[in-house]
A and B are shown apart, each in its own frame.
Chain A
């Protein structure tokens, strides 16, 4: 648990970076700090490991005042990931990851063994360890950055726009990876971003800052979207606030029905009853004319269902189980009806006591992890 109490930061040039901040970040959760540039979110993050010293107020990590500890020792006990990874260009990947263990005096062998383990944890091949950072892609470098921060198994992880410099596809992968890791490791994570979609996707709690270093609202994603505290927050959340709300709601118990017989469109199944695509019966036969389908699992979001219902030729959303086998279809009308009640259900969830509600995207790993975003690849393979 990280506690800010009446923290104020004014820089030497007179600008106030953080104004009277009182905020607690729960242990074992991801707290995202968002806001436009110059709003003090990064300064807030950097005060936690004393890269920036507060002007007044106190910060406690796990009940201990951070200012009562030696700064260097404090930093070794807190993981830190920065944009463009900040890797040491003159050290191999393995040595980069082993930095903090070596600083802690673990000894070279033990530090290297730990680093090799972490390579695997963050999804990098074993031989990547012998390379130098510049020989890796941006996404791989970012994974090394995360591994380096995790090396000494710190309870707290600070992440300063860690995925800001990679392309959108890789960013989504890294975000998924972070959620998967978090489920495994249960760290207290503070994450800074200016991308509201990223904040909604990752955050258990989101703290919105505005210029001048003022905290405007700190809430769960659902509460934030359903009840923005003021027009500033609403504006910051943007024009797609409603759709983002849908992204938080899983399909769950939305009724499934058998695929209708007859009609113009036929759902073609591959081995293991995996949906391959829609065939237009009126256009003669042949697999070549299949329209791709993107089947959804129960953990997928209402937003995906809405998107799929609009994109499907017959307005039907195809549902599958965790193995990717067909379980039924849901009609466009049912999806739209459920979407219509989204605001009420989000508001209800927001006012309920904080319990780990199932979140969209939280489905367990499946046997065939083919990315659902690539139409046509689901199911066809043996």
Chain B
């Protein structure tokens, strides 16, 4: 198996465009996933009876093969970007929902209690105490969901989208490994860069976890 560097040199424009489209699909999905799972997680955290069903539904969705999810959406949204993003969003829900619930669970009871005792109302406690303290766990979920989405976008190649995934079907049909390899490497790069950026975001958002602990 040899890599044809000429092909890569000739197609940098296309590779860039595919990368951008790839990243766009993945990030939109994570963002949507966050918007959906954050309120659901708060609900699951506050109302114990809802926790089992909500996490259960997310788990079931996770077991459906990604190809099948895209295909199942075809009758609804057709061969469009919407189908890709919706399918990916479904997959992010499991990780985001579970991590956000776990993060809220891990908030020290004393901190929550102190906020209440000092006269903070529930919404304020949520925004200024609970969510900030749950942030490290939530961010861990966001990182996993992002990397996973970036890797999964390519599956949408079977329904005519898929960003860098198009290189895989293309290479497969023409029995030509170079685009496939380029697609794999670029996907990994996108994932690693996105992950590193998220680590940086977390670092900025949680100054209290930065300074050295006193022994």
Contact = CB atoms under 8 A, between A and B. Distances in A.
Contacts, number: 72
Q: How large is the interface on B (under 10, 10 to 19, 20 to 34, 35 or more residues)?
A: 20 to 34
Interface string B189-215: 000000000000000001110011110
A100 interface: yes
Q: What DSSP secondary structure best describes chain B's contact surface?
A: helix
Contact of A75 (B108, B110, B119, B124): B119
A88 B115 contact: yes
A299 to B, nearest CB: 36
Contacts of B67: none
Nearest to A84: B110
B113 to A, nearest CB: 6
B114 A87 contact: yes
A162 B213 CA distance: 23
Contact of B117 (A49, A73, A90): A49
B129 interface: yes
Nearest to A136: B214
A267 B124 CA distance: 65
Interface string B125-153: 00001001100000000000000000000
Q: How large is the interface on A (under 10, 10 to 19, 20 to 34, 35 or more residues)?
A: 20 to 34
A99 B118 contact: yes
Contact of B113 (A71, A74, A82, A148): A82
A89 B208 contact: yes
A74 B121 CA distance: 12
Contact of A90 (B113, B114, B124, B132): B132
Contacts of A71: 119
B46 interface: no
B23 to A, nearest CB: 31
A51 interface: yes
Nearest to A89: B208
A163 interface: no
A13 interface: no
Contacts of A85: 110
B120 interface: yes
B116 interface: yes
A72 B133 CA distance: 22
B181 interface: no
A77 B206 CA distance: 30
Contacts of B129: 88, 90
A76 B110 contact: no
B214 A134 contact: yes
B133 A103 contact: no
Given A134-B213, A136-B214, A82 B110 contact: yes
B67 to A, nearest CB: 42
A137 B214 contact: yes
B111 interface: yes
